[in-house]
Structure 1
Amino acid sequence: MNQNDPIAPSTSKPAASLLKRVAAMQTASLCAAALVALLILLAWIFRDLRPGYPHGWYLMKFDTAAGLLLSAAGLALLSARQAPSRLWCARVLSLLILLLAVTPLYEHLSGRSTGFDTLFVTDPTSDKPGLMATQTAVYLLLMALSLLVATLPYRLSGTTVVVLVMLLVLHTLIIFSGYCFDVVQLFGQSMSTRTSPHTLLCMLLLVIALIGWRTQLGYFSVLAGSGLGSRLARKILPLVLLLPFALMLCSTAMVRAGWLTLQVAVGLTIAVMAAALAALVAMMGRRINHLERGLHELSLNDELTGVLNFRGFEWLGEQSFREAQSSHSVLTLLVFRVEGVNEIGETYGHEASSHLIQDMARMLRESFEPADIIARTGNDEFVVITKDENTGGVIALMRIGEAIEALNAAGGSYKAHFSVGEATSDPDAEETFHDLIEKAGLRRRERWRVEHVFSGEGERTSAAASRSPPAQPSLHDASS
């Protein structure tokens, strides 16, 4: 995509199915808002249509209906496939909406009439003919700026559009709360100059359409993502938006019915809201902890065997080493290399070599203590850190031999060998964890070799233990 394109792709990769539903919701919202605004415009232009309209239709002024209709058209242009002609049309519409918003704001602030409000149609229904409410003018101003800035390249408009959209949402919710709690100052200057209910409906629909469009871009893409965070946001957002209104409406109704005094209602509302938010925070914390544990295990565990990978070995091994040094205890590090893995894979297939590695991991888990650290640090290499100071893991090696003999009872078609290198930490020496790793790989001590015939249709062979100098083990990242 060109650097000068006004729209930049989101990096959060929203789910395709959700984007389709969001696009359908956006289209429906735009069409509904445009239809309401168009019907009001027709009523202002054609007097013969007015008797069929519901009472109060005239509270949406001509300029208000025109601004809402232009806003719907501008959003539709930006939501469609980008082209220079569409962008220029969207900019022109944004400037027209800006003009419709700035003029009434000037009249409200200065107290002077410009005559622009009745330039196209007369309005005998108000003491201030054709003048929209300040709240409506502010909404159109924010919408015009949002559309205008959105036509700029994404690197210039991204954060600004997010701020403007959030201000639009806040402004719309303030007007909505004014109607919920019958506070005229929040939705108008008088009952004849106010943001009407059908104007508020169009505002809500346009905000929904605007957020739906921005879900494909930047900040709001979290609402349409396929990840756990996005799913959590979609579940919590409606609750966060509706809970305060529901609580306040209930408390207001109880005050009006005489069941509660105003002070008691306010105290109960605050207490319930605080408890609900605390429960919400606790639920989010539990969910995030669960997600963090899952990611932690995914990043530290080997996928094939379920034991730690090299990263997990380094992280937990370093911690265990430091604890041993501080308590002046001894750690034994054993490096196991399964020999012949590549040859078995070439001869019997990749599945056979995978079974060999999995059997080795299982034997290590069964032979060592749960507190010991077991990791796969290479394609054919395992590492065990044990705190067995007395035997240095010899008993565990004997258990491995017994496990091999148990497997040999089923017979097998090929043999596998493994060698083990060993190193013991010195709590009195100034050594590091990586020094211990080097010691396990470089020190030539006597090593065990165990022959194992894995299960198959071949001849049974018993396990044997012998002492031989195998190839030098080396710790490396297990990427295969």
Structure 2
Amino acid sequence: MASLCVAALIALLVLLAWMFKDLRPGYPHGWYLMKFDTAAGILLSAASLLLLSSGRAPSRLWSGRALALLILLLAVAPLYEHLSGRSTGLDTLVVTDPTSDKPGLMSTQTAAYLLLMALSLLIATLPHRLSGVTVVVLTLLLALHTLIIFSGYCYGAVQLFGQSMSTRTSPHTLLCMLLLAVALIGWRTQLGYFSALSGQGLGSQLARKVLPLVLLLPFVLMLISSAMASAGWLAPQVAVGLTIALMAAALAALVALMGRRINHLEQGLRELSLNDELTGVLNFRGFEWLGEQSFREAQRSRTVLTLLVFRVEGVKEISDTYGQEASSHLIQDMARMLRESFDPADIVARTGNDEFVVITKDENTGGVIALMRIGEAMEALNAAGGSYKARFSVGEATSDPDADESFHDLIEKAGLRRRERWRVEHVLSGEGDRNVAAPPRSAKLQHSFDDASS
């Protein structure tokens, strides 16, 4: 948001200077190198990005697309003029430009940037299956194009940032390009692209630390070598060779440090037990880690997931009456039924002595089919014999990509629904503690959730 505001402010100030001559004396020298159409394209890009990234409301989407089409027009016209040598008249349609031999015409590099920006914004509004890799490629090309222009300024390569000193990508235009590129990439990370830069995992944290160094290192080394060559301290060939050697050594050291860090993290993960010893499913720590990642991924990709909280009722009474082994068999049976009833990709965890949690990405049924399987499994278990029954209660909550909620809010919602359902059913049934005679090998379970077919 901050980068969008800064880019929009710079473009707006330049637009005001083009429209009101009395303001120009107070502007710094070279402000006019950002042409009127360029400033308009930058301002429209910031506005379109803001509209598209602030929500999926139809009015915002259509407004963002309309602005992107205007950007596309502003980009195609100067590219046509550069290629054909014919004027379209669009460059001086609003204001005149006496400062250039080609009045109002932005550089080819600036026009190409606006073209990539317009295409990125337009394709990004299409359904995911249609945009997919195309948006990623366009965003990477836009970032690469900006870095090339930046390199041209760093090393005095005029061909990389303009056709002449009056028709070129100005420094303040380049600054706006960098800010818009950062905003675009930041928006794409929220929708699942470039997720390695925004995730909470160890790899994402490492990527955020290493990426700035990887981007800046070549520029810093080349600037130092160019300065030393210009000062006469080193011959140009020696400066280039020394820079390449230093860059190779720095990257090798960086790879070695990353490998060491990854090994250290891998060792820590091996030492960190994420599974429950009794049941083999995830424990509370594993659930927190994988559950949080699944929730964030669902929010970024704007998909829903369902969280179900199960509690096996009467475990303490069974343990007191028949011993710890009987209650352990009961917990193991519950974990087995959950694993068999849900998809292997779903997350099943034991988060307490008698509590289990399941995270499923089944958007169509929200876990209803799995609950029906559990009911069938319990009927089979009851038919196997035994002298006592146990109940379990369940509560569910479905995430909302548009809601301002956290992963722990979802857990609390599911837990609250479980307690409310169990309280109502327990009162209506009028049942108290069950006194039974002998412990079976497998505890019989009776489900306590609303009719799964409803």
Instruction: Please list, as runs of the form range in 1=range in 2, the aligned pairs for 1:73-472 lying within 5 A after superposition.
Output: 73-298=47-272, 346=320
**Partner SS for 1:218:** coil
Q: CA deviation at 1:291?
A: 3.0
Q: For 1:155 and 1:282, how far apart are their aligned partners in 2?
A: 38
Q: For 2:323 and 2:3, how far apart are their aligned partners in 1?
A: 58
Q: For 2:9 and 2:81, how far apart are their aligned partners in 1?
A: 28
Give the conservation status (yes or no) of the 8 Å contact 1:149–1:157: yes
| Structure exhibiting the larger radius of gyration computed from Cα positions | 1
Q: Is 1:53 matched up with 2:27?
A: yes
Q: For 2:153 and 2:127, how far apart are their aligned partners in 1?
A: 38
Q: For 1:31 and 1:139, how far apart are their aligned partners in 2?
A: 19
Q: For 1:304 and 1:347, how far apart are their aligned partners in 2?
A: 24
Q: CA deviation at 1:214?
A: 1.4
- Any idea what the Cα deviations from partners look like across 1:193-217, whole Å, max 9, x if unmatched? 0000010011011111111111212
Q: For 1:303 and 1:236, how far apart are their aligned partners in 2?
A: 35
Give the conservation status (yes or no) of the 8 Å contact 1:172–1:200: yes
* TM-score, normalised with respect to structure 1: 0.58
Q: For 1:59 and 1:298, how far apart are their aligned partners in 2?
A: 58
For 1:289, the aligned partner's letter is: N
Q: For 2:262 and 2:276, how far apart are their aligned partners in 1?
A: 23
Q: For 2:317 and 2:25, how far apart are their aligned partners in 1?
A: 91
- Any idea what the Cα deviations from partners look like across 1:80-107, whole Å, max 9, x if unmatched? 1211111111111111101100110011
For 2:191, the aligned partner's letter is: L
Q: CA deviation at 1:288?
A: 2.2
Unpaired segments of 5 or more residues in structure 1?
Answer: 1-26, 311-341, 355-378, 380-480
For 1:219, the aligned partner's letter is: Y
For 1:118, the aligned partner's letter is: T
- Any idea what the Cα deviations from partners look like across 1:102-125, whole Å, max 9, x if unmatched? 110011111111211111110000
Q: 1:231 to 1:349 in 2, by over 3 A?
A: farther
For 1:132, the aligned partner's letter is: M
Q: For 2:128 and 2:246, how far apart are their aligned partners in 1?
A: 42
Q: For 1:65 and 1:72, how far apart are their aligned partners in 2?
A: 11
- RMSD (Å), alpha carbons: 2.8
Q: For 1:186 and 1:302, how far apart are their aligned partners in 2?
A: 56
Q: 1:49 to 1:292 in 2, by over 3 A?
A: same
Q: CA deviation at 1:160?
A: 1.1
For 1:172, the aligned partner's letter is: T
Q: 1:349 to 1:288 in 2, by over 3 A?
A: farther
For 2:8, the aligned partner's letter is: A
Q: 1:258 to 1:99 in 2, by over 3 A?
A: same
Give the conservation status (yes or no) of the 8 Å contact 1:251–1:265: yes
Q: For 1:292 and 1:163, how far apart are their aligned partners in 2?
A: 32
Q: CA deviation at 1:290?
A: 2.7
Q: For 2:199 and 2:21, how far apart are their aligned partners in 1?
A: 48
Q: For 2:277 and 2:234, how far apart are their aligned partners in 1?
A: 64
Q: 1:264 to 1:344 in 2, by over 3 A?
A: farther
For 2:55, the aligned partner's letter is: R
Q: For 1:39 and 1:304, how far apart are their aligned partners in 2?
A: 65
Q: CA deviation at 1:349?
A: 9.1
Sequence identity of aligned pairs in percent?
80
What is the aligned length?
297
**Partner SS for 2:193:** helix
- Any idea what the Cα deviations from partners look like across 1:313-368, whole Å, max 9, x if unmatched? xxxxxxxxxxxxxxxxxxxxxxxxxxxxx999537997xx99xxxxxxxxxxxxxx
For 1:155, the aligned partner's letter is: R
Give the conservation status (yes or no) of the 8 Å contact 1:95–1:144: yes
**Partner SS for 1:219:** coil
Q: CA deviation at 1:221?
A: 2.1
Q: 1:302 to 1:49 in 2, by over 3 A?
A: closer
- Any idea what the Cα deviations from partners look like across 1:248-297, whole Å, max 9, x if unmatched? 00000000011111111111111111111111111222222233334445
Unpaired segments of 5 or more residues in structure 2?
Answer: 282-315, 329-352, 354-454
For 2:176, the aligned partner's letter is: C
Q: Is 1:33 matched up with 2:27?
A: no
* TM-score, normalised with respect to structure 2: 0.61
Instruction: Show the counterpart of 2:343.
Output: none
Give the conservation status (yes or no) of the 8 Å contact 1:158–1:218: no
